[in-house]
Structure 1
């Protein structure tokens, strides 16, 4: 529903530099075309003077060390890794090579007792691209102010990601492992490096009562920003904008008179918000309190949605269930996902529910509330939500892409086309309780060569003569090989191949036992399924009968199962039995 609007910007060319027009509200946007044209006509060729020249030295401290979520964000932005891929690769660096510390951490600080181990961690980098810098730190020491690295109070179970004292052999790492390891080491070395120092020069010019401004930023000492150059990269941390100024502004002084040589008027449009990348979504999950207005609930969402160890799996589950899909680096909702958001109860679409639970768990932890009422309220809330869904008469009707006539062979619902990472088409049932998924693949089949039958039925098959031998003048035989006959014989001996399209089951339907999916079914077999129920008239109350008809979980050969209520009931019965045993022992 986003509606963009046009706006204009104006930039003046003063010869040795260019500067942008600014309104009294300190914005460069001009919302009306007539006003933009009027300003351009008035200012071209006009004279003015420099009203302000400010040169400000600045410093920027090193970034914080990595926790898992921040590493996943940078790996997505810089390396294109998914959150799951980052976690899996990091786990190998930790478990197999033992060259990084515990990966599933939510802290970006270390404790004071880790500081004495830093020299050994630096020494382990001697045979890598970071060796020279690590050796320099060992000789000259690291930065003395470690306040952005050491903080005992902000470390809970595990400290920030660091290299270990294990000596690193780069040759043993895969390309992805090496790239991720370099990100971690770059950030570690940045945290112990000097500040980045730079100076910013800002110039303001007044022409015909209008204000123009330009800015130039120049580095003085690269400090921690120089570390990434050891491996041919730029730092993952964004720094202050260099500005649009030219070196020509460095010679200007207040009162210098200037003339506008030319005016450039540019039309632009406001853009809709960018789609989420995995890096953006991880950040939003970590800071879910930003989407909640209630101040008290916001305070209980300081840890966000999920944990650093589970956020990647949450994203992957949404993708596997075809609620969202990856398009390049962007995460895009599918038709199925949009319908899900439209139909589910409102409280399931907001982080407020998590905030309320966290609030009550906080009260239980501090003894102001007991757990029994909380569990009872959870059960009641789950029941109410299920009843809301049952009473909802709205129809699940996603705008399907692809072949809309393709129906699930087990429940009759329409199937959606989904592309996997190899651009292969998967057909996914839209019915959540079914979950059937299949894909068409090309299968190589060997075909025996056709036998050549003679013209006369009584004649024997003709034998090909591959070579002939004739006596020579010197007593030696001359052998003549017939190339055409040899090629024909080789072609006959080579098995013929043809490709057949078959349907492979990716996920079996919940309406059939898994052991019925051991063999692939081709399209003809799938199309021979002649029952196509009218999904438009499907009633929720008929689910039990429907499952029995299609082969329920209770059918023979099924692995069994039950509802959440069944599990709760079984758990309560187990508690009663345990309580009775304890009483009997007494």
Structure 2
């Protein structure tokens, strides 16, 4: 009997075939040796059937036929890949195939891809084992095969995968039909469009809401000027700024004249203070001086969202481009599995981490650092640090270099090489000590007012030696030399310091920033920040909007639907007029779809199904109830004729 290995993509199947020594021509859709057969899907081979597959009458969009909730869902082969499905189905059912090794991507979506194929191919009671790996190195593939568990151990993950797809299907079909039937005629006429289908989704509509709300906050923001007062203090011929603040028991404390404790609303009030401070000589008394050291630890390792955020800001590439690049690095054995939410290592990996570090000695930009880490031996105690935590890992640990695949570096594009470099830098930095800074805080008294000055300089570079990359803008916050700070550090309480002058510095409040593609991904990952209720925020901790595997696709979908615009040069995200109109339609019909807490709670529920704490029946009931309730609610709405007055409020911002 032969073992059959089924991968998610041809490139991954080729890696398995190489490790297993299975050679041959891939043109047949599989590779075979005396004891093994290796085949592959091409992503999804099966999809959910449209409603007309259940009943031809459902082809026509009609309020009378929704809510549509099938008791049993139908699936079909995707026509473009039907040839490969036939090959795979034939192999799965071959009499000489004994054990099936499922080698699709180790995650919810990879599980779903295989289970659909298994279901459609009607595979009988053959032995099925799940290969779960974190990288595509030879050792990891062999370990994954050796330790493969029975596929049935992943049934809960499979249930969550099916439910995620059903949920997106039911909300998409029912809500898109309901809203389109109610509002598309109005929108079509209003925008003079040929056609308009209102596309909504559990995750997509929530993300649209985040973007529109931010744009409206920016529009409504009113800039407020404020005026700060600073004294120029002279010590040993060098000046530094000391800023005035209203503190407790001083004349201006909690004064209505202040914008905040260090700024006035009106310039004339700042001028009054300058006159007061300048009277009776230009001297101030040092009343407090505090010196302390501060440590800054290396950041946590990259998960996909953090990497997408950094790539957006450093390289101005979209989250979907970042995922493509890191997927390529993964398939070339250079890094570990990319679709991960974890920012830590597992205990098991920590024990063997010297292998990853050793491999980087063959990567020129990091060779000296890798060598230093190995010589110092800091990797030996990494398991006792915050960078190793099994409880913070669901499917996979953080994205790190494998230390292998160096031959593939030559074939990488410049941008992929840069992404690999920042992953390596982040990884090696956790084996270095914290950066250390000297901080000095001074308080000066002038009459009954106080001035404050703060200084900071680096004592030890620590991890920054390896973490600092050539792509980021260099920030130099060291205005003063260590020698000068040493001098003022020796000043004692009661010393009298001279002031050259007082200045008024004008500033103004800033509106919130627009999201770029990276900060939007992080916002989706940390959906809890939008929830005021602390208990609810704690409940959905760790459940964002979407998953690491789907977030970039949601942004792409919104761009393709013309609901948002993504500036390719800056990666800044803004809504379109159509996007704002869709937002308003949803706001006045199914506004729960715009709520981050609700969307994140659905995701939390799916995690509960995957870990067995929620039954699939409980989740299904909750999902069906929600879809039925809100579909019926939209059917009863009759605000279509009034809603254009809401659109009019936004139109002024889109006049050409």
Q: TM-score, normalised by structure 2?
A: 0.56
For the 8 Å contact 2:286–2:492, the answer to whether it is kept is yes
Matched, 1:18 2:241: yes
Question: Match for residue 342 of structure 1?
Answer: 584
Q: CA deviation at 1:403?
A: 10
Query: Quick one: structure 1 residues 250 and 360, their matched pair in 2 at CA, closer, same or farther if it must change by over 3 Å?
Result: closer
SS in 2 for 1:316: helix
Q: CA deviation at 1:371?
A: 4.4
Instruction: Encode CA deviations 1:454-483: one digit per residue, 9 max, x unaligned.
Output: xxxxxxxxxxxxxxxxxxxxxxxxxxxxxx
For the 8 Å contact 1:198–1:218, the answer to whether it is kept is yes
Higher-Rg member (1/2): 1
Question: Match for residue 556 of structure 1?
Answer: none
Question: Match for residue 100 of structure 1?
Answer: 335
Query: Quick one: structure 1 residues 68 and 362, their matched pair in 2 at CA, closer, same or farther if it must change by over 3 Å?
Result: closer
Instruction: Encode CA deviations 1:335-354: one digit per residue, 9 max, x unaligned.
Output: 11111112213222212332
The more displaced of 294-303 and 214-223 is 294-303
Q: Distance in 1 between matches of 2:582 and 2:556?
A: 17
Matched, 1:315 2:555: yes
Question: Match for residue 427 of structure 2?
Answer: 188
For the 8 Å contact 1:76–1:278, the answer to whether it is kept is yes
Q: Distance in 2 between matches of 1:120 and 1:367?
A: 39
Query: Quick one: structure 1 residues 135 and 235, their matched pair in 2 at CA, closer, same or farther if it must change by over 3 Å?
Result: farther
Write out aligned runs for 1:526-545 (5 A).
none
Question: Match for residue 253 of structure 1?
Answer: 492
Q: CA deviation at 1:295?
A: 3.9
Q: Which has the higher helix share?
A: 2
Q: Higher relative contact order at CA 8 Å, sep ≥6: structure 1 or structure 2? A: 2
- Point out where structure 2 has 5 or more consecutive residues left out of the alignment: 1-219, 248-252, 254-259
Question: Match for residue 201 of structure 2?
Answer: none
Question: Match for residue 222 of structure 1?
Answer: 461
Matched, 1:113 2:348: yes
Question: Match for residue 651 of structure 2?
Answer: 399
Q: 2:470 aligns with which of 227, 232, 235?
A: 232
Q: Distance in 2 between matches of 1:244 and 1:174?
A: 41
SS in 2 for 1:20: strand
Question: Match for residue 467 of structure 1?
Answer: none
For the 8 Å contact 1:228–1:234, the answer to whether it is kept is no
Q: 1:331 aligns with which of 546, 549, 573?
A: 573
Instruction: Encode CA deviations 1:204-250: one digit per residue, 9 max, x unaligned.
Output: 11112211111111212111111035x535599x99x7688963633
Instruction: Encode CA deviations 1:414-439: one digit per residue, 9 max, x unaligned.
Output: xxxxxxxxxxxxxxxxxxxxxxxxxx
SS in 2 for 1:176: helix
Q: CA deviation at 1:380?
A: 0.8
Q: CA deviation at 1:94?
A: 0.7
Q: Distance in 2 between matches of 1:307 and 1:243?
A: 43
Q: Distance in 1 between matches of 2:367 and 2:405?
A: 11
Backbone CA RMSD of aligned residues:
2.9
Question: Match for residue 291 of structure 1?
Answer: 530
For the 8 Å contact 2:282–2:501, the answer to whether it is kept is no
For the 8 Å contact 1:203–1:249, the answer to whether it is kept is no
Query: Quick one: structure 1 residues 401 and 151, their matched pair in 2 at CA, closer, same or farther if it must change by over 3 Å?
Result: closer
Q: 1:384 aligns with which of 629, 632, 636?
A: 632
Q: TM-score, normalised by structure 1?
A: 0.63
Matched, 1:159 2:397: yes
Question: Match for residue 80 of structure 1?
Answer: 316
Instruction: Encode CA deviations 1:512-569: one digit per residue, 9 max, x unaligned.
Output: xxxxxxxxxxxxxxxxxxxxxxxxxxxxxxxxxxxxxxxxxxxxxxxxxxxxxxxxxx
Q: 1:70 aligns with which of 295, 300, 306?
A: 306
- Point out where structure 1 has 5 or more consecutive residues left out of the alignment: 405-586
